[in-house]
Protein backbone atom coordinates (compact mmCIF):
# COMPACT_ATOMS: atom_id res chain seq x y z
CA UNK A 1 0.00 0.00 0.00
CA UNK A 2 2.90 2.33 0.75
CA UNK A 3 4.17 2.06 -2.80
CA UNK A 4 0.78 3.21 -4.12
CA UNK A 5 0.76 6.21 -1.80
CA UNK A 6 4.31 7.05 -2.82
CA UNK A 7 3.38 6.59 -6.48
CA UNK A 8 0.32 8.86 -6.11
CA UNK A 9 2.36 11.56 -4.35
CA UNK A 10 5.25 11.51 -6.84
CA UNK A 11 3.30 10.91 -10.06
CA UNK A 12 -0.02 12.64 -9.38
CA UNK A 13 0.11 14.38 -12.76
CA UNK A 14 0.18 10.99 -14.51
CA UNK A 15 -2.94 9.88 -12.64
CA UNK A 16 -4.75 13.15 -13.44
CA UNK A 17 -3.77 12.81 -17.10
CA UNK A 18 -5.07 9.23 -17.21
CA UNK A 19 -8.39 10.31 -15.65
CA UNK A 20 -8.77 13.12 -18.21
CA UNK A 21 -8.03 10.72 -21.09
CA UNK A 22 -10.56 8.27 -19.67
CA UNK A 23 -13.29 10.92 -19.55
CA UNK A 24 -12.52 11.97 -23.12
CA UNK A 25 -12.60 8.37 -24.36
CA UNK A 26 -15.83 7.61 -22.49
CA UNK A 27 -17.45 10.79 -23.86
CA UNK A 28 -16.40 10.35 -27.49
CA UNK A 29 -16.33 6.62 -28.14
CA UNK A 30 -19.67 4.80 -27.82
CA UNK A 31 -18.71 1.21 -28.55
CA UNK A 32 -17.01 -1.80 -27.05
CA UNK A 33 -13.70 -0.30 -28.18
CA UNK A 34 -14.28 2.41 -25.57
CA UNK A 35 -14.12 -0.13 -22.77
CA UNK A 36 -11.06 -1.81 -24.27
CA UNK A 37 -9.26 1.56 -24.34
CA UNK A 38 -10.37 2.23 -20.75
CA UNK A 39 -9.05 -1.18 -19.65
CA UNK A 40 -5.73 -0.60 -21.44
CA UNK A 41 -5.24 2.81 -19.78
CA UNK A 42 -6.16 1.53 -16.31
CA UNK A 43 -3.99 -1.59 -16.80
CA UNK A 44 -1.00 0.49 -17.91
CA UNK A 45 -1.42 2.73 -14.88
CA UNK A 46 -1.57 -0.28 -12.54
CA UNK A 47 1.50 -1.96 -14.09
CA UNK A 48 3.48 1.28 -13.94
CA UNK A 49 2.45 1.91 -10.34
CA UNK A 50 3.27 -1.64 -9.29
CA UNK A 51 6.82 -1.43 -10.64
CA UNK A 52 7.34 2.04 -9.18
CA UNK A 53 8.66 0.69 -5.86
CA UNK A 54 11.40 -1.26 -7.65
CA UNK A 55 12.49 1.88 -9.49
CA UNK A 56 12.71 3.79 -6.21
CA UNK A 57 14.80 0.99 -4.67
CA UNK A 58 17.18 0.99 -7.64
CA UNK A 59 17.64 4.75 -7.43
CA UNK A 60 18.17 4.55 -3.66
CA UNK A 61 20.76 1.80 -4.00
CA UNK A 62 22.63 3.77 -6.66
CA UNK A 63 22.68 6.94 -4.56
CA UNK A 64 23.83 5.11 -1.42
CA UNK A 65 26.59 3.33 -3.33
CA UNK A 66 27.78 6.57 -4.88
CA UNK A 67 27.81 8.43 -1.56
CA UNK A 68 29.65 5.55 0.10
CA UNK A 69 32.30 5.56 -2.66
CA UNK A 70 32.71 9.33 -2.31
CA UNK A 71 33.19 9.04 1.45
CA UNK A 72 35.78 6.29 0.98
CA UNK A 73 37.66 8.45 -1.54
CA UNK A 74 37.65 11.38 0.88
CA UNK A 75 38.80 9.08 3.69
CA UNK A 76 41.78 7.95 1.60
CA UNK A 77 42.60 11.61 0.90
CA UNK A 78 42.39 12.32 4.63
CA UNK A 79 44.66 9.33 5.30
CA UNK A 80 47.40 10.78 3.15
CA UNK A 81 47.00 14.38 4.29
CA UNK A 82 46.78 13.64 8.03
CA UNK A 83 49.40 10.90 8.24
CA UNK A 84 51.98 13.13 9.93
CA UNK A 85 49.53 13.94 12.77
CA UNK A 86 48.36 10.36 13.31
CA UNK A 87 48.56 8.81 16.78
CA UNK A 88 49.16 5.06 16.93
CA UNK A 89 48.04 2.88 19.84
CA UNK A 90 48.84 -0.84 19.93
CA UNK A 91 46.67 -3.11 22.07
CA UNK A 92 47.91 -6.31 23.78
CA UNK A 93 45.63 -8.50 21.64
CA UNK A 94 47.43 -7.45 18.43
CA UNK A 95 44.87 -4.88 17.37
CA UNK A 96 45.69 -1.22 16.85
CA UNK A 97 43.92 2.13 16.82
CA UNK A 98 45.09 5.14 14.82
CA UNK A 99 43.43 8.51 15.35
CA UNK A 100 43.71 11.86 13.64
CA UNK A 101 41.57 14.96 13.85
CA UNK A 102 38.96 13.67 11.38
CA UNK A 103 39.29 9.90 11.18
CA UNK A 104 39.92 6.75 13.14
CA UNK A 105 41.38 3.50 11.82
CA UNK A 106 41.06 0.19 13.67
CA UNK A 107 42.48 -3.16 12.69
CA UNK A 108 44.62 -6.12 13.58
CA UNK A 109 48.25 -6.58 12.66
CA UNK A 110 48.55 -8.60 9.46
CA UNK A 111 44.86 -8.23 8.59
CA UNK A 112 43.84 -7.34 5.05
CA UNK A 113 40.89 -5.27 6.26
CA UNK A 114 40.62 -2.22 8.53
CA UNK A 115 37.63 -0.40 9.97
CA UNK A 116 37.64 3.33 9.20
CA UNK A 117 35.45 5.94 10.87
CA UNK A 118 35.29 9.15 8.84
CA UNK A 119 32.72 11.96 9.10
CA UNK A 120 30.70 9.87 11.56
CA UNK A 121 30.38 6.96 9.12
CA UNK A 122 32.08 3.65 9.83
CA UNK A 123 33.01 1.30 7.02
CA UNK A 124 35.50 -1.43 6.22
CA UNK A 125 38.30 -0.92 3.72
CA UNK A 126 40.92 -3.21 2.27
CA UNK A 127 44.36 -2.45 3.64
CA UNK A 128 45.72 -1.22 0.31
CA UNK A 129 49.05 0.55 -0.17
CA UNK A 130 47.73 3.93 0.98
CA UNK A 131 46.27 2.49 4.20
CA UNK A 132 49.44 0.49 4.91
CA UNK A 133 51.59 3.59 4.35
CA UNK A 134 49.32 5.51 6.76
CA UNK A 135 49.73 2.78 9.39
CA UNK A 136 53.53 2.81 9.00
CA UNK A 137 53.62 6.62 9.24
CA UNK A 138 51.47 6.50 12.41
CA UNK A 139 53.85 3.92 13.94
CA UNK A 140 56.83 6.19 13.31
CA UNK A 141 54.93 9.15 14.83
CA UNK A 142 54.30 7.19 18.05
If asked whether residues 134 and 86 sit together in one domain, one would say yes
Residue 93 included in any domain: yes
Residue range(s) defining the domain that contains residue 81:
70-141
Residue 58 included in any domain: no
If asked whether residues 128 and 79 sit together in one domain, one would say yes
Strand ranges of the sheet holding 113-118, from the earlier edge strand across to the other edge: 87-90, 95-99, 103-108, 113-118, 121-126
Number of residues written out for the chain: 142
| pTM above threshold 0.85 | no
If asked whether residues 74 and 137 sit together in one domain, one would say yes
Supply the Cα-derived Rg of the chain in whole angstroms. 28
If asked whether residues 136 and 74 sit together in one domain, one would say yes
Q: Return d(Cα 61, Cα 78) in angstroms, integer.
A: 26
Q: Return d(Cα 34, Cα 16) in angstroms, integer.
A: 19
pLDDT tens digits for range 51-77: 766 776 777 777 777 777 777 777 777
- With both helix axes pointing from N to C terminus, report the angle between 32-50 and 2-10 in degrees, rounded to the nearest 10: 110
Q: Return d(Cα 59, Cα 63) in angstroms, integer.
A: 6
Total structural domains within the chain: 2
If asked whether residues 80 and 28 sit together in one domain, one would say no
pLDDT tens digits for range 71-92: 777 777 777 777 777 787 888 8
Amino acid sequence: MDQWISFAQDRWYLIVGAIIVLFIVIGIVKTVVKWLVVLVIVGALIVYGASYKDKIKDIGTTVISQVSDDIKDKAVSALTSEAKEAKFKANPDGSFLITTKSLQVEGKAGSEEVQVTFLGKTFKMNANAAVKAFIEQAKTNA
